[in-house]
Amino acid sequence: MSRTGSPPDVCVVGLGYIGLPTAAVIARAGCKVLGLDVSQAVVDTINRGEIHIEEVDLDGLVQGVVSRGLLSASTEIAPADVFVIAVPTPFDKNHAPDISYVLAAGRAVAPVLKAGDVVILESTSPVGTTEELRDLIAQLRPDLKIPGLTRDTPDVSIAYCPERVLPGRILEELTNNDRSIGGVTPRCARKALAFYKRFVRGECVTTDARSAEMTKLVENAYRDVNIAFANELSMVADRMGLDVWEVIRLANRHPRVNILTPGPGVGGHCIAVDPWFIVHGAPDETPLIRTARGVNDHKMHHVIAKAEALLEADPHAKVACLGLAFKANIDDFRESPARFVTSRLARKFGSRIHVVEPYAAQLPIEFTDTGAVQIDIDDALETCDILIVLVDHDVFRVVPLAERADKLVYDTRGIWPDQPRVVREEAAKLALAG
Ligand code: SAJ
């Protein structure tokens, strides 16, 4: 495969939140792409030109590349020139990374590999996973010369190239973000680089596989540690009766200070997961990363306790919880602190809880039989006395002061800096009393 030659045939293994957009973007660049997934339902949906996940502009893109015959999906592997593996890497109950899906993908790919092929792992992975994948392929295909294990020119190339896209901006960031491309050998990195140059406009930087694996983990751990600092400050501010938003706003006027935004905790399936991969790899050297995880998880319980104190102080007040998504302006409810907090309140306070989530057609399963109901933001503003802001959706952010000035507001996201301070101080005092 060469950059200037005809486009390679590509197989993307795993058609989830990363795999499907990646497959579609590669197809748009003119490569014939086969998407492989274990779910027949996912495969059928994509082959109809439809999508099973929500992401800005993805529907039109998939529809276009499927109708032009550039993207198809299957549960059966087929030969290709480049294999891109984008499968989940969860952790178990002890926070140990589970790379079984990566190895299963390797077992699927190995039988159809031929000389000249490139295998690229994109899944967030503990350091050393790409070499494990390489060793598995070597074991399954003793007929092939494998990079790092042969003195000759290897038959195949194996590399690690993490995605770093932000949900809600995936298509744009897939194309425009810089990429770190880590080869099992420098030659492998060059082969993978030639492939990414076909569809990435950002700068592609080559390195070794282990450094690229660690880079991905470090990016998300960096974010987690910095959010933990903001969340810890918010709890300190509650204890001291201070307005954390005011303190952060002022501190951030310092030219070398940039404190992130407190929230009800850290959600999603990356930032709350990936730091554990570092901790698992170096348990004695990671007190800071481990503590940050603890702070961010604890913040959810702090929010629940503070909200419970508010609700118990006024047993007749009707309450609106604003947002269930794991962050603003998306319909992704996986590992969402807002969802966790609201469901706990619904279980305790039942029909007093009114949930506002414009991105959800209905309440998630755990709300069944709690008595909590879903209403829209207009009803919430007309009928509820207490507003608990859990997600900074734009539709909440734009509510003018006049429509909420008389409410008791617990704003975990700081979207309403003009909310009368007396109300916010009252909330802080109630929480302290609790
Ligand atoms: N959050 C805060 N305060 C902040 C920023 C975020 O409470 O100041 C919360 C969010 O509300 C959310 C969580 O953190 O619950 C994570 O949100 P996010 O927008 O920071 O990140 P993700 O999980 O959507 O995507 C991250 C990104 N990583 C980094 O920004 C370093 C993305 O670039 C990665 O590709 C993605 O993880 C991934 O797939 O690993």
Domain ranges of the chain: 10-202, 261-433
Sorted by sequence, the CB contacts under 8 Å of residue 128 that are 6+ apart come out as 210, 213
Comparing CA positions, the residue from 28, 42, 117 lying closest to residue 74 is: 42
Comparing CA positions, the residue from 335, 331, 434, 346 lying closest to residue 388 is: 346
Sheet holding 386-389, edge to edge: 373-374, 353-356, 319-322, 386-389, 408-411
CA end-to-end span of the chain: 65
Burial of 33 (0-12, 13-18, 19+ CB in 10 A): buried
What was the pLDDT predicted at 135? 98
Distance, CA 353 to ligand 1 centroid (Å)?
Answer: 28
What was the pLDDT predicted at 2? 43
Which residue numbers are catalytic? Answer: 216, 270
The owner of tokens 């592997």 is 77
What was the pLDDT predicted at 130? 98
| Nearest CA residue ID for atom 40, ligand 1 | 270
Distance, CA 380 to ligand 1 centroid (Å)?
Answer: 28
Output the ligand 1 site: residues, CB below 6 A.
Answer: 124, 163-167, 219-220, 223, 227, 260-261, 263, 266-268, 270-271, 326-327
Q: Which CATH topology does 10-202 take?
A: Rossmann fold (3.40.50)
10-202 and 261-433: same fold? yes
Distance, CA 160 to ligand 1 centroid (Å)?
Answer: 21
Counting from 1 in the atom list of ligand 1, the atom nearest the Cα of 260 is 8
pLDDT of the chain, 434 residues: tens digit per residue: 444 578 999 999 999 999 999 999 999 999 999 999 999 999 999 999 999 988 889 999 999 999 999 999 999 999 999 999 999 999 998 999 999 999 999 999 999 999 999 999 999 999 999 999 999 999 999 999 999 999 999 999 999 999 999 988 999 999 999 999 999 999 999 999 999 999 999 999 999 999 999 999 999 999 999 999 999 999 999 999 999 999 999 999 999 999 999 999 999 989 999 999 999 999 999 999 999 999 999 999 999 999 999 999 999 999 999 999 999 998 889 899 999 999 999 999 999 999 999 999 999 999 999 999 999 999 999 999 999 999 999 999 999 999 999 999 999 999 999 998 654 545 555 555 54
- Pocket probe for ligand 1: among 54, 270, 329, 393, the residue whose CB has the most ligand atoms within 8 Å is 270
- Pocket probe for ligand 1: among 326, 327, 332, 413, the residue whose CB has the most ligand atoms within 8 Å is 327
Domain spanning 261-433: CATH 3.40.50.720: yes
Residue 82 phi, psi dihedral angles, 5° rounding: -130, 135
Exposure of 313 in the CB half-sphere (CA atoms within 13 A)? 18
Comparing CA positions, the residue from 182, 213, 212, 175 lying closest to residue 197 is: 175
Distance, CA 271 to ligand 1 centroid (Å)?
Answer: 6
- Pocket probe for ligand 1: among 220, 226, 333, 336, the residue whose CB has the most ligand atoms within 8 Å is 220
> For residues 234-256, b (16+ Cβ closer than 10 Å) or e, as one string?
bbebbeeeebbbebbeeeeeeee
Distance, CA 414 to ligand 1 centroid (Å)?
Answer: 17
Residues forming a β-bridge with 171: none
Q: Report the distance separating Cα 196 and Cα 186, nearest Å.
A: 15
Residue 316 phi, psi dihedral angles, 5° rounding: -100, -5
